[in-house]
Amino acid sequence: MRGSPSGLVLTFRLRSSRGVSRTVPGPPPEPSSRSDVTSCPFLSPVGVSPGTGASSCRTRGSRLRSADGTGSTGQPDRGTGAMLASRCIVGDLRGLLGRRPLPVGAQRCFLSRGQRSLGPAPLRTRVAVTLLVGGGLAAGCWAVSREKEGRLRRLRAEQLEAVALGRGNFSLLDHRGRRRTAMDFRGRWLLLYFGFTHCPDICPDELDKLSAVVTALDRDPALPPVTPLFITVDPERDDVAALARYVQDFHPRLVGLTGTPEEVREAGRDYRVYAQAGPPGPDGDYMVDHTVLIYLVDPQGRFLDYYNRTKDQDQVTSSVRGHMLSHAPP
For the stretch 310-323, pLDDT in tens is: 999 999 999 999 99
- Say whether both 152 and 22 belong to one domain: no
In a domain, 57, yes or no: yes
| pLDDT score at 221 | 93
Please give the tally of structural domains in the chain: 3
Task: Provide the pLDDT confidence category of residue 152 given band limits of 50, 70 and 90.
Answer: confident
d(CA 257, CA 69): 125
Domain with 137, as residue range(s), is: 121-163
pLDDT at 99 over 80: no
Q: How far apart are CA 226 and CA 296, in angstroms?
A: 10
138 confidence band (pLDDT: 50, 70, 90): confident
143 and 226 together in one domain: no
Pick from 60-64, 148-152, 287-291, 316-320: least confident = 60-64
Residues 41 and 74 in one domain: yes
Mean pLDDT of 90-99: 51
> Is residue 114 a part of any domain in this protein?
no
Amino acid at 93: L
Examine the domain organization and report whether 8 and 95 are in the same domain.
Answer: yes
Structure-model confidence comparison of residues 263 and 24, the more confident one: 263
Is residue 85 very low, low, confident or very high in pLDDT (cuts 50, 70, 90)?
Answer: low
Residues 173 and 314 in one domain: yes
* 225: CATH: 3.40.30.10
**Does residue 239 belong to any structural domain of this protein?**
yes
| pLDDT at 12 exceeding the cut of 60 | no
Q: Same structural domain for residues 140 and 251?
A: no
- Give domain status of residue 116, yes or no: no
Residue 270 lies in a domain: yes
CA–CA separation, 86 and 59 (whole Å):
12
pLDDT tier at 45, thresholds 50, 70, 90: very low
Q: Are residues 6 and 99 in the same domain?
A: yes
Query: Does the pLDDT of residue 282 top 60, yes or no?
Result: yes
Asked if 49 and 55 touch (Cβ cutoff 8 Å), the reply is yes
Backbone phi and psi for residue 223, each to the nearest 5 degrees, phi listed first: -105, 145
The mean-pLDDT minimum among 31-35, 181-185, 203-207 falls in 31-35
Q: What are the angstrom distances between the C-alpha of 42 and each of 49, 71, 205?
A: 10, 18, 108
3-state SS, residue 258: strand
| pLDDT, average across residues 285-298 | 95
Identify the CA nearest to 324 among candidates 175, 221, 198, 210: 221
Whether 158 and 237 share a structural domain: no
Q: What's the CA gap between 326 and 150, in Å, rounded?
A: 8
Query: Which pLDDT belongs to residue 82?
Result: 57
Instruction: Report yes or no on whether pTM surpasses 0.75.
Output: no
Q: Is the pLDDT of residue 88 over 70?
A: no
Res 158: pLDDT: 72
Instruction: Identify which has the larger pLDDT, 80 or 274.
Output: 274
> Based on the domain organization, do 99 and 128 belong to the same domain?
no
264 closest CA partner among 237, 234, 224, 295:
234
Domain-embedded: residue 15: yes
> Residue 66: pLDDT band by 50, 70, 90 thresholds?
very low
pLDDT above 50: residue 166: yes
Tell me what pLDDT residue 16 has: 42
3-class secondary structure, 271: coil
For residue 68, what is the DSSP state? T
Please say if the pLDDT value at position 164 is more than 80.
no
Range 212-235 average pLDDT: 96
pLDDT at residue 23 above 90? no
Give yes or no: residues 158 and 171 share one domain. no
Is 106 a residue whose pLDDT tops 60? no
Residue 202 has pLDDT above 60, yes or no: yes
Is residue 198 one of the residues assigned to a domain?
yes
- pLDDT at position 155, please? 76
Q: Is residue 76 located within the same domain as residue 134?
A: no
Note whether 263 and 317 are same-domain residues.
yes
Note whether residue 330 is domain-resident: no
The top-scoring range by mean pLDDT among 21-25, 91-95, 161-165, 306-310 is: 306-310
Percent of the chain with pLDDT over 90: 45
pLDDT of residue 37: 39
Burial class (CB in 10 A: 0-12, 13-18, 19+), 209: buried
